[in-house]
Structure formats: structure tokens, C-alpha cells
Structure 1
Amino acid sequence: MDSVRNPYTPNAGAAPEFVVGREEQTTAFKVLLRRLSMGRTEQSMIITGLRGVGKTVLLNEFGDIARESRWEVVELEARKHDDTRFRQMMFSQLRAALLRLSPRARWTDRGRRAAAALSSFALSINQDGTWSVTWDVDPAEGYADHGDLGLDLTDVFVAIGEVAREQSSGLALLVDEVQFLRAPQLEALIQAIHKTVQRKLPITFVGAGLPQIAELAGDAKSYAERLFKFPKIDSLSDEDARLALSEPALAEEVLFEAEALDLALEITKGYPYFLQELGYQVWGVAELDRITRADVVVAREAYEAKLDSSFFRVRLDRSTPLQTAYMRAMAELGPEPQKAGDVARIMNRESTQLGPTRAELIDMGLLFTPEHGYAAFTVPEFDKFMKRAVPKLVVPDVQRRRSLSDR
């Protein structure tokens, strides 16, 4: 078939031609915006799920919904920045949002107060000991200048929230990869949103990240579980998965036959990214105006090769030999969450020896802890890939590695 007409989008964060199965989350977000606009409170949300289930796509959809509702939107992808860089990033984004909410020439007292709070938030000490800020607005004394990230960000959120309410608008802060925020940064965001809820201001923080986020948020602030909803998104239902494949093809006047859909669901397990990748590969081998089971069979090898060389491989390539061995041992035990002691046993090591390796993999976003003492892959089907990519488990000598490093 014509590759230009290929309706499938196996790209990171790219919205599919036909989005299904996420109506509950989009409805909840619309309710959130409407209630905040009315001066009422509503729980914000942090979406959790494995890689490839569509968290970023859903967050982008939220951005579109917010803009259609005349809200200002700040979209961030969290990075492992230190607190100074985090302040700089937040200042840059929030300054732009303030200027969109209220152009400088039309600032009221609230607008000027918010700008002054941002100046205080962004103050830094130069090497010569002088103070500087990145725009020509004098800082507010005693406001967003506490030297505490949580207190300072709270002052800024409240000030901007008051401007948004004055302008009959709102501010939606959408943060992807929340798990990469440092603990003080996540704590500061939660603390700031908590205060805006108390003031009934139209400002919200909605995030997306790996499954451990709910636990991290609870550790940051005990009231996070009351401040946020934590909807989990996973693979699509059979019905929605079929629609995700058949409807884009139908829009191009191509029929995706029922038997072809059956095999496609068996291969992909309904994971959104996998559906898009398989659909893309099948389109390349199908002929005329229909997609058959035989087409799916032919495309399967190219589909798996593409996942192995990109989606899976980029994660494995980041790992050290010991980290690779740890993940290979987990794969040997199966796709379910695995106990640290069982993984260590497979590797003929003690759990205490491998504790740092496990922690590194969690910090890298390759594993998460669904419950105490267990770890699981953050990528669906990663256990099968590890067996294909690393046919034999080879464990580096941990003790020798440590003794050499000590020298």
C-alpha cells in the first residue's frame, strides 16, 4: 500500500489517528477544569503506567482540552535537574504563562505582584556576590524569597493563580516523566498546589509517570493521596484495541479483517504503542484494500525487529554489564514482579550485594517497585526481549569489581 497513506503512528508521544480507551481520564480532566473555573475544588491527577501505554499522548490531549477552555498551559518533561536549574526552568515557563494571561502593558496590581514574586523566585547570587534576575522587574520583599523551594513556589503559584482568576482563565501545569523530579521538587509542587486548592484558585498540576509515582508523591507529602487522583492506564480492552487498528485503516478505505485483528491482539497484548508499530508494519506488506491474517504473519518479523532495535534496545544500551545481568535474571523468572532475593539467587549472589544495582535500575526508570521487596520492568514484554538479546545469563564478578574500584 501507499506508505504516504499509512495511518499508524509508532512515534514517541505521537497521537494516533484514532484515540480510544481513555475517555474516563479526559472526562475527569474536563470536570477538573470546569470546577476550578467555578471557584470549586477538585482533585488533580497524576497518571501512571508502563512505557508505551500512551501517558504522553494523554497529557498532550489534556493540553489541547485546556487551551480550548481558554486556560494557559505549561508543558514540561521532568529532568534530573538540581534545584537551581529547576528554579530557572520553572521561572522561564511561568513568566511566559503570566505574560500570556496578562500582557505586561495591562498589568493590574495582581499582575505586578505576580511578576515581582517571579523575580524573587529567580534571584541568584553571581560569583562576585551580587544579586541578579533575568528580567527587569524588581523582586518582592518577603515574597517568594524564603530560600525554601516549597515556600517560594507556593507564593508564585498563589500569585499567578490570582491573576488567572482575575482574567477568568486558569493555568494547567502538565509535567511528563514525573518520576525524574528530585524529591524536594516534587514536594514543592505538591505543597504549592495544596495552597492553591485552599485558596480555590484556577491552577492545577497534572502529571504522568511510571507506576512508582503514587508512592513517591505519598512520601513527599502525606496529603498527596487526598490532593491527587492516581489513574492507572494499561493495555487497551479487546474492543478498543480492535478499533485502534481497524478505524484508521477504514478511514483510508482499507478493511482490517477479523482474523487479522485476532492475531494482532495476540501479538501486541493490546498495548497502544505496540498496536501502532504492528499496524505500521502490516500496512507496508498488505495489498489492495484489505489486511489479512497472512499480512500480519508476514509483518510480525519486521515488527519485532523494529521494537528490538529501538523501543527495547535503547534501554538495554544504557545499562552496565551488572545491570544487564540483573535484568536478564529477572527475565529468567518471568514477566511478573520478582522478589529481590529470588533474582539474587538466580545470579548466585546475596541480595545485599545487588541492592545498589537494583536501586540504579529503578533510578534509571527501567524497573519499578509495585510493592515492598519486589521489582518489575517498566516496559511491557521486556522479559522476552532480554531473552532474545541476551541468550545466556552472564554475571560479572561483583566482589572483584568492587575490589578493583577500591584501588
Structure 2
Amino acid sequence: MDHSRNPYTPGAGTPPPALVGRDDELAAGRTVIARTSRGRVAQPPILYGLRGVGKTVLLKALQAQADKAGWLTVEIEGTQTASQQDQTRQRLARALVTSARALTPPRRTSQAWQRALATISAFSVAVGPLGMTATLGVDPARGRADSGDPSIDVEELVSDLVPALKESGIALAVFVDEIQDLDAATLSALIATQHRASQKGWPFHLYGAGLPNVPGRMAEVHSYAERFHFMRIGALSARDARSALESPAAAEGVSFTEPAVERLVQVSGGYPYFIQVYGDQAWRNAPGPSSITYDDALAAVTTGTAVLDESLFHSRWDRATPAQKHLMRAMAEDRSSSQLSDLVSRLGKRRPSDLSVARDALIKKGLIFAPDRGMLQFTVPHMDDYIRRQHEG
């Protein structure tokens, strides 16, 4: 098969050739924009789910909706670095300055926008680097959004932007990927500002995407987390998974035999990331010129699984300590979620607290989560299969 025509896009956060099965989430984004344009309160979507379900791609699609509406948009990503709070606020300031610079000159010269830009400058000066402010052409406002305390600065920043946003008929939207890893101070400040925006009719929205623990994490840092529309993102249905495989190939004049597509849908589990990997490998393995057969699919299962082992599973497995790997091996025996009491018995421990150090560390690393009280589950689909393969090997 001609590799230059390969339509599949394996890679974390890489937009697929066909975004299928996500109509509800995209409709939720359009609703936020429509309600905001009418001056009504809206609940921005917070997407959560396992890795590989396409949350980042969806978040980017929601941001594209806001960009198309002419909104001021900012994107940042939560991290687990030691100096996370300072780095996050610097990225937020840099993204806000960049977005403000994209405003057309007539907007930027109004009094409301001059005041807004002055506060943006003050916020960026407070977090550095200083060079960012010169590009806005205004002096930083004094005593606004420059205290160094996120709980004060974020709300003041948005408050000072509101008159300019309303004057232009647009909104400010902050898009946070890996939102569960955002430092508590910044996350709390953003949630509190969203709450205040809902109370006062401010055109401000916080969108997010992250792991299954996101609803609990947001409720933990602030009680106003109910202001959001939490949307669980799962695997695609068999029908949508077929479409995600077949539609891109059909656009290139290539078809799958029925047994081939059935096998690839089955092995992918309907997870978008896996679909792209197996689709890519099926294309690479097929001699062509216009059909992908069952034998091609079988070859893709072998090579695709090897790609996933190396690119997705191995790096996560390597992040675990020997004690943590011991717990993960025990979890892998269950092939789904694990009961903590079963793990205690399986590992020869006396009580659940004996596993708390390894469990808490794995949760912090984003490798497992607690879907319910007394339960544990991997955040990456098919991680249990990988661990069993390693153990058997």
C-alpha cells in the first residue's frame, strides 16, 4: 500500500481523520457558545476518562469551536513538576498575551480593551518573564491581578476583562488538558472564578480534560465544582469504531474485508488511540492496492501490539518502582477493576493500609485510579494485558 496515502494518525492528542462518536460532546460545546452569546449562564464541559479515548482531541475540537466564534482562548496543561504553580501561571500569562495580541486593532484601542490589556500586562509581569508585556503596548495596571496569589489574581484578571469582552460580544475560555495535574491553588482559583462568572453573568468559561479522578479532584479543591458539565468519555461503540477505521481508508479508495474490520474493531476495544495504531499498521502491512484483508489485519494485530507496548505501555511500566509493579501485577490478574480486599489477600498482606503507599504513589503518577471505594483500576486500557505479556515473557 502507498504509505504516502496512509490516512491514520497514531499519536497522543493527534486529531484523527474522522472524529466519530462524539456528537454529544461537540453539541455541548456549541450549546455553551450559543447560551453565552445570549448572555445566559452555561456549564462548560469537563471531559474525563481513561487514556486513549480521545479527550485531548475533543478538547482541541471544543477550543476550535470557541476560536471560530471569535472568543479569546487560552490553553494550558497540568503537570506534576515541583515548580508547577509558577510554571502554570507563566504559561497562562503567555497564552493570554498571545491570544490578546491576535485581537484586531479596532478592538484593542477601545477604552475597555486598553484597561483589559493593562490588567493582562500586570498579571504577566507578576509571573514573568517581563518581556511578554511589551508586545501589548500598554503599561501594566497597578494593584490588579499582580499580588502573586492565584485566588486573588485570576478573579481580578477575568473581572477586568469582562467589560471589553461584553463590548466585543465574545468570551474568555481557558482550556486545561490533564486538569487533574493542575496545582491546587490555580485549579481552585479557576473554579472559584467560574462560580463567580455564573453568579454575575461574566463571559468566562473553564473547559478541561483529564483522567477518571477529575470530578473528585475538582470537588476536593473547591466546593463549586458542580458548576461544570462533567462528561465521561468512553470507548466508541462497535458501529463508530468501524466508521473510524473504514471511513479514512474509503476516502483513499481502499476497503476492508468484513473479517478484517471485525478483527481490528475487536482488538482495539473501541479505543480511538488503538484504532489509529491498528489502522496504521493494517495499512502498512497490506500489499494493496485497494483492499485490506483478514491476513493483513492479523499482521496488524501483531505489529500494532508491539507498537503499543513500546510507545504506550512500556514508559508507564518503567515509571513504577518494584513495589508498585508488584501491586500492578496483582491487579492485572483481574482483567478489569480490582477489589482492594482481593489484592490484600493476593499479595499476602494483612490489611488494606499495607498497600496504601504503593497505591497512593500509582494514583499520583496517573497509572491507576479508584473507580469506587475499595476498588482500583488502570488508567490505560489493556494495561493488564501488557503486564501479563511481560510476566509470561
The TM-score, its normalising length taken from structure 1, stands at: 0.88
Residues 14-46 of structure 1 show CA distances to partners (whole Å, capped at 9, x for unaligned) of 111111000111111011012112211110111
**Residue 116 (str. 1) matches residue 115 (str. 2):** no
Is contact 1:255–1:291 with CA below 8 Å preserved after alignment?
A: yes
Identical positions, percent: 38
Task: Determine whether 1:383 maps to 2:384.
Answer: yes
Equivalence for 2:66: 66
Aligned match of 2:289: 288
Structure 2 residue aligned with 1:236: 236
Matches within 5 A, 1:313-352: 313-332=314-333, 334-350=334-350, 351-352=352-353
Q: Which amino acid aligns with 1:352?
A: S
Match in the other structure for 1:101: 103
Q: 5+ unaligned residues in a row in structure 2: which ranges?
A: none
Deviation at 1:168, TM superposition (A): 2.2
Structure 1, 246-255 or 81-90: larger mean CA deviation: 81-90
Q: Which residue of 1 aligns with 2:20?
A: 20
1:218 Cα deviation after fit: 1.3
| Aligned residue number for residue 359 of structure 1 | 360
Do the aligned partners of residues 70 and 133 (structure 1) sit closer, same or farther apart at CA in structure 2, a change above 3 Å counting? closer
Stretches (4+) displaced over 6 A: none
Q: CA deviation at 1:142?
A: 4.3
Q: In structure 2, how many angstroms separate the alpha carbons of the residues matched to 1:210 and 1:364?
A: 11
Distance in 1 between residues matched to 2:275 and 2:193, nearest whole Å = 39
Alignment-derived partner of residue 33 in structure 1: 33
Residues 1:250 and 2:244 aligned together: no
Q: Distance in 2 between matches of 1:57 and 1:231?
A: 14
Aligned CA distance change for structure 1 residues 78 and 213 (closer, same or farther; 3 Å): same
SS in 2 for 1:230: strand
Which deviates the most, 193-202 or 234-243? 193-202
Q: Secondary structure at the match of 2:205?
A: strand
The DSSP-based 3-state class of the residue aligned with 2:359 is: helix
Structure-2 separation of matches of 1:42 and 1:123? 31
**Preserved contact between residue 90 and residue 127 of structure 2 (Cα < 8 Å):** no
Q: Give 1:111-260 correspondences, 5 Å limit.
A: 111-122=113-124, 124=126, 135=133, 138-225=139-226, 227-260=227-260
Structure 1: which amino acid aligns with 2:248? P
Paired residue type of 2:271: Y
2 CA distance for matches of 1:72 and 1:363? 32
SS at match of 1:75: strand
CA–CA distance in structure 1, aligned partners of residues 84 and 56 of structure 2 = 24
User: 1:401 — aligned with what?
Assistant: none
Q: How many residues align?
A: 386
Q: 1:53 is paired with a residue of what secondary structure?
A: coil
Aligned residue for 2:231, secondary structure, equals coil
- Cα shift at 1:84: 2.6
Q: TM-score, normalised by structure 2?
A: 0.91
Cα distance in 1, alignment partners of residues 299 and 12 from structure 2: 25
Secondary structure at 1:370's aligned position in 2? Answer: coil
Q: Deviations over 1:188-230 (max 9, x none)?
A: 11011222222323221110000100111112222212x1011
For the 8 Å contact 1:102–1:163, the answer to whether it is kept is no
Q: CA deviation at 1:120?
A: 4.1
Contact 2:89 2:127 in 1 (8 A): no
CA apart distance, 1:124: 4.8
Unaligned runs of 5+ in 1: 127-131, 393-407
| Cα-to-partner distance string for 1:368-397 (whole Å, 9 max, x where unaligned) | 1111222210000111111112339xxxxx
Aligned residue in 2 for 1:52:
52
